Amino acid sequence: MPKAIIAPSLLSGDWAYLARDCNKMIELGADYLHMDVMDGHFVPNLTIGAPVIKSLRKATTGYLDCHLMVSHPEQWVDDFAKAGADGFTFHIEASDDPVALIRRIKSLGMLPGIAVKPGTPISSLETVFAECIDDLHMVLVMTVEPGFGGQSFMVDMMDKVREVRARFPEIYIQVDGGLALDTVDAAAEAGANVIVAGSAVFGAPKPEVVIQGLRVALEKCN
């Protein structure tokens, strides 16, 4: 099992103080900074694009884990690489040629991730697994419908996590949506090692307690 990674989602931070919130999360023990990129088309919400990542890159050395909930993710890969993104995770449902995109992401120096919405089975990733598993850094199993923070964790997605972990013991498996101290154990036991948490971290009086609690839950299962 790969190492425990805690990734606060800045969607629940304050966009007016994005750099401050990013650096605060790193100081409080976070490993990744999860940046939710939404285009108002693939999902019914709109957030940020590469220009914000570019500015943020000047203000933090934290790992910028970009989760692209956009149609045609191919269109943005060069811009995100130039902007200084560290990870580029796109949705299988949105891509015509996921294998080519994974290779492109890697060739530009970013770590590639592929995401599945709750209704999408892991079998949709078979071609990716067959053709470029060695290039793939992370599988993101969505545990809510993408688009908004603050939704309820879908525990039935844990079968997908177990399926990926059984086949690929070393791959990073990220879970995203509704993760908190009372839901993390299910994800950790299933084999997830990257926990995204937005409202649970930013809504807590002491975010560092939640970050540490999530880490302890992962490490118990390691």
Ligand X SMILES: O=C(CO)[C@@H](O)[C@H](O)COP(=O)(O)O
Options 11, 18, 22, 105; binder of ligand X; rule CB under 6 A: 11
Angle (CA) 18-19-20 rounded to 5° is 90
Residue number of the CB closest to Fe ion reads 67
User: Which residue carries 């149609």 as its tokens?
Assistant: 71
For residue 113, say whether it is annotated as part of any ligand binding site: no
Residue 150 binds ligand X, judged by CB under 6 A: yes
Contacts to ligand X from residues 64-123, by CB under 6 A:
67, 69
Report in angstroms how near the CB of residue 98 gets to ligand X at its nearest.
19
Closest residue by Cα to residue 71 from 42, 30, 105, 35 = 42
Report in angstroms how near the CB of residue 46 gets to ligand X at its nearest.
12
User: Which residue carries 């036991």 as its tokens?
Assistant: 189
Options 22, 33, 34, 207; binder of ligand X; rule CB under 6 A: 34
Q: How far is CA 53 from CA 37, 88, 112, 183, in A?
A: 10, 12, 17, 30
Residue 176 binds Fe ion, judged by CB under 5 A: yes
Query: What are residue 194's DSSP bridge partners?
Result: 5, 174
Closest residue by Cα to residue 11 from 30, 37, 40 = 37
Q: Please choose which of ligand X, Fe ion, none residue 73 contacts, taking the beta carbon within 5 to 8 angstroms, the exact cut-off set by kind.
A: none
Stretch that binds ligand X, among 85-93, 102-110, 177-185, 207-215 (CB under 6 A): 177-185
For residue 95, say whether it is annotated as part of any ligand binding site: no
Report in angstroms how near the CB of residue 169 gets to ligand X at its nearest.
25
Instruction: Give the binding-site size for ligand X (rule: CB under 6 A).
Output: 23
Residue 197 binds ligand X, judged by CB under 6 A: yes
User: Which residue carries 């088309």 as its tokens?
Assistant: 41
**CB within 8 Å of 212: residues ≥ 6 apart:** 29
Report in angstroms how near the CB of residue 111 gets to ligand X at its nearest.
17
Six-digit token string for 50: 């590469």
Residue 177 binds ligand X, judged by CB under 6 A: yes
